[in-house]
């Protein structure tokens, strides 16, 4: 019999609709996932082919700052396209890292490049707020966008960003990603990376930041412009508070730390009045680096450039040049206010303003600094000035220099200018005048600043200071204000040196056998240049002639006629060759005007030439860069002193001794105020177009030039001694303040002999004498005539008949005696 089985218990029952729905949903979800995966794979394959290889980040080298350092390692300049300084992650404070994680990507350590949970949370938050309040991009996505993609808002770019983020996460550790991110992102104000941002906003390194400052930086990447603490302090503070709240929410900081940081007042780096005292020198370095290495390497590769500049000396140079140019400018009167503003509709009651500010702390304005001010009240005795939000007082004593020029052409006034001296304050300023004022001091009794009237010079100046033993340029000033004129007059301008060229003529003469005791007769002389119709008749500055003149006196008193005659005796070609040995490279005139400095030179050339005399006849090639290192610390350029003997030490010393005479009894007498041995020479060109002083002590050479760029005259009596000399003196006092007082070293081949002042020969009786220096073997052997009545006419005697030529000397070399 066939066995039968009972039917299943649910046989014949209807299936549940809910179960059917879930079954269909599962099938649909499966197909949707399958389709989504296929679409995702399609897009991945489609976009992946066009994406960059993220492995290149292993050799990540962003655009970096090239930094320029002084001789002591102080930063004096930076060159960059993107202001960035790389910081390894282990040198970035942990709390700063957490600030970025808290505000930008709290789940950074829990995702693999894309945070689906974060995207979902941001979606619902934005939906509830009906605006975009949160972003879903992870730190890795932001890094991918910054490094590889454009900022355009398109779905294709977002897909690429996600793919790149996944690739970055697959190939790099979280720490490596953070390091790349914190060094790459933009913080506004030209700053890239946390280190540059810390310096830009707070003037600090990252390890010096406080919590409130860290939160301020972490607030910036979302919108650097909107949350800029300089421009939008309220928005910045609001965003900073959000960062701190997120850090507290993530348990990175305590509530107390959060509240204290929120309440803290930020001390931002002061902007606006920052001036780089080394600007001309740094620009000189930049031009060299561009020529040698190209702009890309300069601005992007993070070079370290170590220079020869001494920062203390440079600051002294800038200060003294500016003060000297202002002193010159004041000697030539007041040109009037910057502009005049009508104040009729404004209430400028000074006394009530002072009363209102009685309880306030005044803004600290640094003494000695110059500011733009507005005259708001004035009477005959004083003027009240509104300056930088503070009140200041100008007394008449501070503006007595402000005479004005009035045009009054007359036969007895060829320049057509009469100077009118001010009698009271109202002769100089009136309410509504916008003027420049210098801060003298703050007077607590007045509750105001005491001020002095200033004006910006139109005249320019330059200074270069060189270590003669090494050739290192220690200070360089190329003009009054780099921000208004980048032209570097110390190295780019070629001007006539005037009498400052004479030491080269005299050096060539000493080398050829002349001595400081050689006498040349200062009398009129006329030269006929075949190329010119007119005859040339050189004259002295005083327009007088002085008869028999020793070379020592001629150089000290800067006698033009004697120098021209000396050049005639020595020979133009010999002088030019001698100048080349001293380092003069500019073209030189092959005529007798060379004696008076007619050939244009740079100030640095002149300083370098004088340094040979200071350095015992050895020329140290001037240089301004010691060493250049690439970002990895490899030395790519190194300069060391390059010293070569170019003239005999005896020649160098004798010229130095003659230049000491310039200081003791000649045109450079004011340099005695230096209080130590120095040597130098003034220079003044025709029509007072240029004023120079080049001088040195045993271990420092400094050259100063003053003049107008448009070749205007400096004015009558504005000689090198008056216009340039005071700058040299003030600078050298500062530069040598802590240095030992040194004498000039006398070489073994120099001897001192007592001679007759009038003839340069050995004394024969009661003549006035002094000790002169000679190269050993070239001392005079002839005695001075006792009396003219004895039949010896000194001035009719040939110089070579007065003493025998030393053994081995050139028989044509002139010695002592008149020429």
Q: Which class for 39: exposed (0-12), middle (13-18), buried (19 or more C-beta within 10 A)?
A: exposed
HSE (side-chain half, CA atoms, 13 Å) at 165: 24
Whether the pTM exceeds 0.95: the reply is: no
- Per-residue b or e along 437-474, where b marks 16 or more CB atoms closer than 10 Å to that residue's CB: bbbbebeeeebbbbbbbbbebebbbbbbbbbbbbbbbb
Q: Which two tokens stand for residue 132?
A: 């975009």
What is the tens place of the pLDDT at every residue in 664-704?
Answer: 999 999 999 999 999 999 999 999 999 999 999 999 999 99
Contact 679, 446 (CB under 8 A): no
Contact 70, 309 (CB under 8 A): yes
Round to whole Å and give the CA distance between 142 and 137. 6
Identify the pLDDT of residue 817: 34
The β-bridge relationship of strands 83-84 and 527-528 is unpaired
Beta strands in 56-139 (DSSP E): 66-69, 75-79, 83-84
Closest CA to 262 of 282, 242, 279: 242
Round to whole Å and give the CA distance between 172 and 140. 10
The β-bridge relationship of strands 473-477 and 460-466 is antiparallel
Contact 814, 799 (CB under 8 A): yes
Closest CA to 172 of 131, 209, 135, 144: 144
Round to whole Å and give the CA distance between 577 and 573. 6
Q: Is 228 helix (H, G, I), strand (E, B) or coil?
A: coil
Query: How far is residue 537 CA from its own chain's centroid?
Result: 44
The H or E element containing residue 122 is helix 116-129
Round to whole Å and give the CA distance between 710 and 526. 32
Identify the pLDDT of residue 519: 96
Q: Is 308 helix (H, G, I), strand (E, B) or coil?
A: coil
Please report, for residues 117, 220, 223, 246, the alpha-carbon distance to residue 126 in angstroms, rounded to integers and kept in the order given. 14, 21, 18, 18
Round to whole Å and give the CA distance between 158 and 151. 10
Closest CA to 592 of 542, 518, 537, 544: 537
Q: Is 348 helix (H, G, I), strand (E, B) or coil?
A: coil
Q: What is the DSSP letter of 722?
A: I
Sequence-ordered list of residues with C-beta below 8 angstroms from that of 425, at least 6 positions apart, any chain? 378, 379, 380, 381, 382, 383, 394, 395, 396, 399
Q: Is 681 helix (H, G, I), strand (E, B) or coil?
A: strand
Round to whole Å and give the CA distance between 394 and 813. 65
Q: Which two tokens stand for residue 412?
A: 């007895």
Rg, C-alpha atoms of the chain = 39
Identify the pLDDT of residue 531: 58
Contact 637, 307 (CB under 8 A): no
Q: Which class for 226: exposed (0-12), middle (13-18), buried (19 or more C-beta within 10 A)?
A: middle
Closest CA to 319 of 270, 284, 370, 392: 370
Round to whole Å and give the CA distance between 174 and 109. 7
Q: What is the DSSP letter of 399?
A: G
Other CB atoms within 10 Å distance of the CB of residue 20: 10
**Which residues are tagged catalytic?**
104, 499
Round to whole Å and give the CA distance between 116 and 166. 13
- Segments in the chain below pLDDT 50: 1-3, 5, 8-13, 789-819
Q: Is 130 helix (H, G, I), strand (E, B) or coil?
A: coil
Identify the pLDDT of residue 742: 95
Other CB atoms within 10 Å distance of the CB of residue 31: 10
Q: Which two tokens stand for residue 89?
A: 């992650």
Match 């240049």 to its residue by tokens: 529
């Amino acid at each position: 019999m066939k066995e039968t089985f009972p039917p299943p218990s649910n046989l014949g029952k209807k299936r549940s609709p809910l179960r059917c729905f879930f079954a269909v949903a599962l099938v649909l979800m499966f197909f949707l996932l399958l389709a989504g995966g296929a679409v995702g794979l399609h897009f991945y394959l489609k976009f992946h082919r066009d994406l960059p290889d993220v492995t290149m980040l292993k050799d990540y080298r962003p655009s970096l700052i090239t930094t320029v350092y002084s001789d002591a390692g102080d930063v004096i300049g930076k060159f960059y396209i993107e202001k960035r300084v790389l910081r390894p992650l282990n040198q970035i404070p942990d709390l700063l890292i957490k600030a970025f994680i808290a505000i930008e990507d709290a789940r950074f350590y829990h995702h693999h490049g894309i945070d689906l949970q974060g995207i979902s949370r941001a979606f619902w938050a934005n939906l509830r707020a009906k605006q975009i309040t949160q972003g879903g991009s992870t730190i890795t996505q932001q890094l991918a966008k910054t490094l590889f993609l454009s900022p355009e808002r398109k779905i294709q770019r977002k897909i690429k960003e996600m793919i790149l983020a996944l690739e970055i996460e697959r190939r790099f550790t979280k720490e490596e990603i953070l390091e790349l991110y914190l060094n790459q992102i933009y913080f506004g104000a030209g700053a890239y990376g946390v280190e540059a941002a810390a310096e830009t906003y707070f003037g600090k390194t990252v390890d010096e930041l406080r919590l409130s400052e860290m939160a301020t930086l972490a607030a910036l990447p979302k919108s650097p412009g909107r949350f800029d603490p300089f421009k939008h302090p309220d928005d910045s503070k609001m965003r900073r508070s959000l960062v701190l709240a997120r850090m507290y929410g993530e348990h990175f900081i305590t509530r107390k730390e959060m509240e204290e940081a929120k309440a803290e007042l930020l001390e931002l780096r002061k902007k606006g009045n920052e001036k780089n005292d080394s600007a001309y020198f740094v620009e000189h370095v930049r031009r060299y680096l561009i020529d040698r290495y190209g702009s890309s390497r300069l601005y992007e590769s993070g070079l370290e450039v170590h220079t020869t500049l001494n920062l203390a000396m440079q600051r002294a140079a800038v200060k003294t040049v500016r003060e000297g140019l202002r002193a010159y400018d004041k000697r030539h009167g007041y040109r009037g206010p910057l502009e005049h503003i009508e104040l009729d509709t404004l209430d400028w009651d000074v006394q009530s303003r002072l009363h209102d500010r009685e309880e306030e702390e005044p803004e600290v304005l640094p003494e000695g600094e110059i500011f733009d001010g507005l005259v708001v009240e004035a009477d005959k005795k004083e003027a009240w000035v509104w300056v930088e939000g503070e009140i200041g007082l100008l007394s008449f004593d501070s503006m007595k220099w402000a005479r004005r020029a009035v045009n009054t052409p007359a036969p007895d006034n060829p320049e057509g200018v009469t100077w009118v001296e001010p009698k009271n304050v109202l002769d100089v300023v009136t309410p509504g005048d916008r003027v420049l004022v210098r801060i003298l001091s703050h007077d607590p009794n007045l509750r105001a600043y005491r001020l002095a009237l200033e004006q910006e010079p139109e005249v320019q100046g330059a200074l270069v200071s060189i270590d003669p033993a090494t050739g290192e340029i220690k200070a360089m000033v190329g003009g009054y204000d780099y921000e208004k004129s980048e032209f570097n007059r110390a190295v780019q301008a070629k001007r006539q040196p005037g009498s400052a060229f004479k030491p080269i003529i005299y050096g060539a003469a000493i080398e050829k056998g002349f001595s400081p005791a050689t006498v040349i007769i200062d009398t009129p002389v006329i030269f006929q240049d075949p190329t010119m119709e007119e005859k040339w008749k050189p004259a002295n500055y005083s327009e007088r002639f002085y008869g028999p003149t020793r070379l020592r006196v001629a150089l000290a008193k800067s006698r033009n006629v004697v120098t021209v005659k000396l050049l005639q005796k020595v020979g133009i070609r010999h002088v030019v060759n001698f100048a080349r040995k001293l380092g003069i490279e500019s073209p030189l005139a092959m005529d007798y005007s060379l004696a008076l400095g007619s050939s244009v030179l740079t100030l640095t050339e002149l300083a370098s030439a004088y340094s040979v005399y200071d350095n015992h006849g050895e020329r140290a090639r001037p240089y301004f860069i010691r060493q250049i290192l690439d970002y990895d610390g490899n030395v790519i350029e190194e300069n060391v002193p390059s010293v070569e003997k170019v003239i005999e030490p005896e020649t160098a010393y004798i010229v130095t001794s003659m230049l000491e005479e310039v200081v003791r009894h000649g045109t450079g007498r004011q340099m005695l105020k230096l209080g130590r041995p120095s040597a130098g020479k003034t220079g003044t060109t025709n029509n007072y177009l240029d004023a120079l002083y080049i001088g040195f002590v045993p271990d420092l050479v400094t050259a100063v030039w003053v003049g107008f760029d448009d070749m205007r005259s400096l004015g009558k009596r504005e000689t090198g001694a008056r216009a340039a000399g005071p700058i040299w003196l003030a600078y050298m006092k500062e530069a040598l303040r802590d240095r030992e007082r040194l004498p000039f070293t006398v070489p073994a081949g120099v001897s001192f002999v007592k001679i007759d002042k009038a003839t340069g020969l050995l004394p024969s009786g009661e003549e006035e004498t002094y000790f002169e220096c000679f190269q050993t073997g070239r001392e005079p052997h002839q005695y001075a005539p006792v009396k003219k009545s004895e039949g010896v006419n000194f001035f009719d005697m040939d110089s070579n008949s007065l003493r025998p030529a030393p053994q081995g000397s050139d028989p044509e070399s002139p010695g002592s005696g008149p020429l």
